[in-house]
Amino acid sequence: MKQFIAFLLLITAIGIAFADSPIDQENNPKLEESFRIKVWNQPGGTIEVSSDQGKNWLTVGSVIYPSIKTNPEGYAASRWVADGRVAATAVNAIHIKTATEKGTGGGVVFSLLPKEFLVKQKDYNSYLSPTSSIYTNIPAGESIFGGGFAPFVGNKLLLSRPGYTVGMLPAGYVPAVGDKIYIIVERPVAYPKEIVFENRFGGKITIKYPSGGEKVIGEVLRPVVGVGRFDGTRYASAGRIRADHAGVIDVSTSRFGTIGGFQIVPSLHGSNMKAARELTQWMVIGPCLPAGKPAAAGEEAYEGKAPFFKYFIKPAYRSSDLSSDDWEKNVMARFLVDAKVKGSDQWQPLPIYEFSEYELTGDVPAWASDALANITYLRILFPVYE
């Protein structure tokens, strides 16, 4: 009997230990649908958005070249995304994971791309894309590519095709001409107002909710000090989210049309990136650990986990927001990254750092390695929803 009681106590203790994760709430949220995206995978097929669960649709673009392929060598961090889900959301791409490669564990993906990435028509065979990408006529940074209708990492996919009842993507799905692909864009009901990163070794990461509740959800294992030449930042303005996927938050420090930014990455993924280990343009984050206890080698921590790398963050900004009649509503519905600098306790816009055309070749200029050295805190401000 004593042994049985001891066993129950041990199981209870283990359960409490797992329940004590500071991000359990964020990774098991109640979700609500914001809108859904429909992509008709055929030449001239419409791309539509519905804000009432499919009763009415707004056409936001069209497919130029459909795809009938997947890519078995998806980006490395796609291994931490479930099959049949959005694997990455960015101003210059949306990646969908359809399967997991046997043996390597890597992601099999296909992509939606904006019009800037069209290759010359002579490279195409008939009307089909030669790659695993569906090419659209939507500009980068607009509509589904970060202009207000972007999905979140982890959003589920539905499929409609002749002979197939509308349902989840089948295992090992490969796009076919005529398929209608639906992305159900859901977000957590309990949505934060901000995440604050203390930009120093051992700095705390704090999430704050509109109700006044807040908690420490992680630790800065390595602060960001420099800015880098992340190409996709040319399609995002300074202080805006360029991309979010299972292993990165990409933030622009450059004006639209120029390049400059930094990235926030989880510890295991960061340890597998030579540049993130050696250079200064990456903030590395992980769970708070007891003093003196290092993370186990090869240990997964926040890879593919909310609120950083699933469900919560996406690119959302349009350059026309401030000039529109409903500019206040639009601005409040966008993400913003701002900062505190040494000697000040006031939040201020993220400083603009960008590279000239000359600086886009060769070594990173010396100024880039410590451009953000005086930043003490970074903050992601979340949209305000009614």
Distance CA 310, CA 244 (A): 8
DSSP state of 69: -
DSSP state of 79: G
Report the SS3 class of residue 164. Answer: strand
Report the 10 Å Cβ neighbour count for 24. Answer: 12
Q: Could you tell me how far CA 134 lies from the centroid of its own chain?
A: 19
Q: According to the model, what pLDDT value does residue 109 have?
A: 96
Distance CA 168, CA 163 (A): 14
Distance CA 231, CA 242 (A): 10
Which residues touch 38 (CB under 8 Å, ≥6 apart)? 46, 47, 48, 49, 50, 57, 180, 181, 182
Residue 44 burial (C-beta neighbours within 10 Å; 0-12, 13-18, 19+): exposed
For the chain, give every domain's residue range.
Answer: 31-188, 194-381
In which residue are the tokens 């909310």 written? 306
Q: Is 126 left (phi over 0), alpha (psi -120 to 50) or beta?
A: left
Q: According to the model, what pLDDT value does residue 105 have?
A: 83
Give the chain's end-to-end CA distance (angstroms, integer): 55
Distance CA 288, CA 220 (A): 9
Distance CA 240, CA 250 (A): 9
Q: Amino acid identity of 268?
A: L
Q: According to the model, what pLDDT value does residue 386 have?
A: 53
Residue-by-residue DSSP string for 190-259: S--SEEEEE-STTEEEEEE-TTS-EEEEEEEEE-----B--GGGGGS-TTSEEEEETTEEEEE-S-TTSB
Structure tokens at 346: 């006031």
H/E/C letters for each residue in 103-160?
Answer: CCCCEEEEEEECHHHCCCHHHCECCECCCCEEEECCCCCCECCCEECCCCCCCEEEEE
Distances (CA, A) of 242 to 161, 258, 285, 327: 33, 13, 18, 21
Report the 10 Å Cβ neighbour count for 102. Answer: 7
Distance CA 330, CA 148 (A): 9
Q: According to the model, what pLDDT value does residue 334 have?
A: 87
pTM over 0.85: yes
Distance CA 386, CA 380 (A): 19
Q: What is the pLDDT along the chain (386 residues), one digit of tens a residue?
A: 344 334 333 333 333 334 468 999 999 999 999 999 999 999 999 999 999 999 999 999 999 999 999 999 888 899 999 999 999 999 999 999 999 988 788 899 999 999 998 865 445 555 677 789 999 999 999 999 999 999 999 999 999 998 777 788 998 999 999 999 999 999 999 999 999 999 999 999 999 999 999 999 999 999 999 999 999 999 999 999 999 999 999 999 999 999 999 999 999 888 888 888 888 999 999 998 766 565 554 566 899 999 999 999 999 986 655 444 554 555 566 899 999 999 999 999 999 999 999 899 888 899 999 999 999 999 999 998 65
